[in-house]
Amino acid sequence: MKVDKISISFPAKLGDEARQAARNAGHSLSSWLADAAAAKLRSETLRALLDDWGREDGPLTPEEISRAEVELGFRTNKLSG
């Protein structure tokens, strides 16, 4: 796999917290940061998709958002007992 070695700077406290989080997860800092960057890119892609959807079909209704939250595991379906 080709890699892109880059240098980044963080405030000291954030750097310390990132290193600790990587250790806690059992990952190298590079791997942990790569995962974080990938998650951020997925989030931005999803936001753009939802923005496009909203322009074409109107905003999601509260019911649609509620159903999505249940299906994605962000909350439980209170009706399912």
The pLDDT value given to residue 78: 61
Domain that holds residue 37: 12-72
Give the pLDDT band of residue 8 (cuts 50, 70, 90).
very high
- Number of domains within the chain: 1
Average pLDDT, integer, range 12-20: 97
Residues 23-69 have pLDDT tens digits of: 999 999 999 999 999 999 999 999 999 899 889 999 889 998 899 88
From first CA to last CA, the distance across the chain in angstroms is 47
Q: Is the entire prediction scored with pTM above 0.85?
A: no
The full 3-state SS of the chain, as one line of letters, equals CCCCCCCCCCCHHHHHHHHHHHHHHCCCHHHHHHHHHHHHHHHHHHHHHHHHHHHHHCCCCHHHHHHHHHHHCCCCCCCCC
Domain assignment of residue 50, yes or no: yes
Report pLDDT for 79: 56
| Residue carrying the six token digits 């917290």 | 17
